[in-house]
Amino acid sequence: MADAPFFMTAGQIAELVGGRVIGDPDRQVWGANGLEEAGEGDLCFVRSPKYYSQLRASRASVALVSEPVDGITPTCVVVSNPEGAFLRVLRHILERTANPAKPMGIHPSAWVQPDAAVEEGVGIGPFACVEAGATVGAGSSLGAGVYVGSGARIGRSCIIYPRVVILDRVIIGDRCVLHPGACIGGDGFGFFPHEGRWEKVPQTGTVIIGDDVEIGCNTAVDRATFGATRIGTGTKIDNLVQIGHNVVIGEHCVIAGMVGISGSVKIGNNVRIGAAAGIAGHITIGDGASIGARSGVAHSVPPGGAVSGFPAVDHALSRRIMVSQSRLPDLVRRVREIERRLGMG
């Protein structure tokens, strides 16, 4: 522990998360890990009492639990929501440990046009490019190789990781995080058939992203044909997601990896979309709806609805269909036996 850059005691953790210590309040942690992988110096959490048998065998130094546990090695901090408390501790640690990858100042190899507006405390890494008329808000950082197009606006305290592309006139809110390889504002996929060939539809719109949005690696958000593709405040988007032109996504949505959203889809607030789901164009997903992983959504989903399957149907019906499909081989055998007895086969 002597080389650890940061540590907390069980007592300090309890004070931070509003918990109660059972065991040694001076026991220290300088890392965090999962329940099974945790070792000396690690903090872990337990979602429910059914995992307490694993906790008794754990080598963790401190564990966040929802109720007292007998006969365990780790010191415990009892709190109503162990997982939420665990995340709060992680954020606390990250706030107090410097990120050495964050660029400070403007690197000599970066290209910043004279009429670009770069506010106080901005870091711009090697070979980044900020074009004419662009704005980068105070406290934001642009990693190596980032491209910011003409007239684009990046808000305050954003983290733009290396090789992100933000094209002309795109607007990004405050405290957004864009992970490596994300492309914001590429042309929407607009073509129409004309005399035996595909003619490109000019993509004249933009992309507007709200505050506190996070976008994963290699995700593409296409600019609108006209108007704006929009992503609401607080929405979190995973890696390898495709968001088509003129899509509107509400606030505080969660979209898992490899989702494809076709053009002009309207998605409400607090919607959850599972990995590899595909959503057809020009439909509406209501507030609070849930889309199961690998679903094919061809029709609008009402507020609070839950769909899954391919094609996507109500989740309860989808589960019944999956159970029925597993019984098909036995059903076919029975039908063949009935046909044989009736002399039909």
* 143 and 214, same domain (yes or no): yes
Domain, as residue range, for 67: 8-95
Neighbours of 104 (CB within 10 A): 12
* 89 and 145, same domain (yes or no): no
* 31 and 172, same domain (yes or no): no
* 198 and 245, same domain (yes or no): yes
Q: Is residue 127 part of a domain?
A: yes
User: Measured between alpha carbons, how far is 154 from 326 in angstroms, rounded to an integer?
Assistant: 51
The H-assigned helical ranges of the chain are 10-17, 52-56, 82-95, 315-326, 328-341
Query: Each residue's pLDDT tens digit in the chain (345 positions)?
Result: 445 557 899 999 999 999 999 999 999 998 899 998 999 999 999 988 888 889 988 899 999 999 988 777 789 999 999 999 999 998 888 777 655 456 679 999 999 999 999 999 999 999 999 999 999 999 999 999 999 999 999 999 999 999 999 999 999 999 999 999 999 999 999 999 999 999 999 999 999 999 999 999 999 999 999 999 999 999 999 999 999 999 999 999 999 999 999 999 999 999 999 999 999 999 999 999 999 999 999 999 999 999 999 888 888 888 888 788 888 889 889 888 888 888 886
Answer with the one of 68, 95, 122 that is the final residue of a domain.
95
Which two three-digit tokens encode residue 37? 């992988």
* 127 and 76, same domain (yes or no): no
Confidence at residue 64, expressed as pLDDT on a 0 to 100 scale: 96
Q: Is residue 1 part of a domain?
A: no
* 72 and 179, same domain (yes or no): no
* 76 and 139, same domain (yes or no): no
CATH of the domain at 24: 3.40.1390.10
Q: Is residue 104 part of a domain?
A: no
CATH of the domain at 187: 2.160.10.10
Please, what's the b/e burial string for 40-62 (b: 16 or more CB within 10 A of its CB; e: otherwise)?
A: ebbbbbbeeeeebeebeebebbb
Confidence at residue 92, expressed as pLDDT on a 0 to 100 scale: 86
β 159-160/191-194 pair status: unpaired
Q: Is residue 309 part of a domain?
A: yes
* 123 and 250, same domain (yes or no): yes
Look at residue 12 and give its three-state secondary structure: helix
Q: Is residue 314 part of a domain?
A: yes
Taken as a whole, the chain contains a residue count of 345
Residue 276: burial class (beta carbons within 10 Å; 0-12, 13-18, 19+): middle
User: Measured between alpha carbons, how far is 106 from 111 in angstroms, rounded to an integer?
Assistant: 9
- Max Cα separation, the chain? 89
| Number of compact structural domains in the chain | 2
* 234 and 298, same domain (yes or no): yes
Are 88 and 77 contacting, i.e. CB atoms less than 8 angstroms apart? no
Q: Nearest to residue 47, comparing CAs of 59, 29, 65, 72?
A: 65
Q: Is residue 274 part of a domain?
A: yes
* 71 and 182, same domain (yes or no): no
Q: Is residue 100 part of a domain?
A: no
* 170 and 143, same domain (yes or no): yes
Answer with the one of 95, 124, 144 that is the final residue of a domain.
95
User: Measured between alpha carbons, how far is 172 from 271 in angstroms, rounded to an integer?
Assistant: 21
Look at residue 307 and give its three-state secondary structure: strand
Q: Active-site residue numbers?
A: 245
Q: Is residue 201 part of a domain?
A: yes
- Give the residues across from 172 on adjacent strands: 154, 209
Answer with the one of 95, 121, 146 that is the final residue of a domain.
95
- CA–CA distances in Å: residue 133 to residues 38, 89, 128, 168, 169: 50, 40, 15, 10, 9
* 166 and 38, same domain (yes or no): no
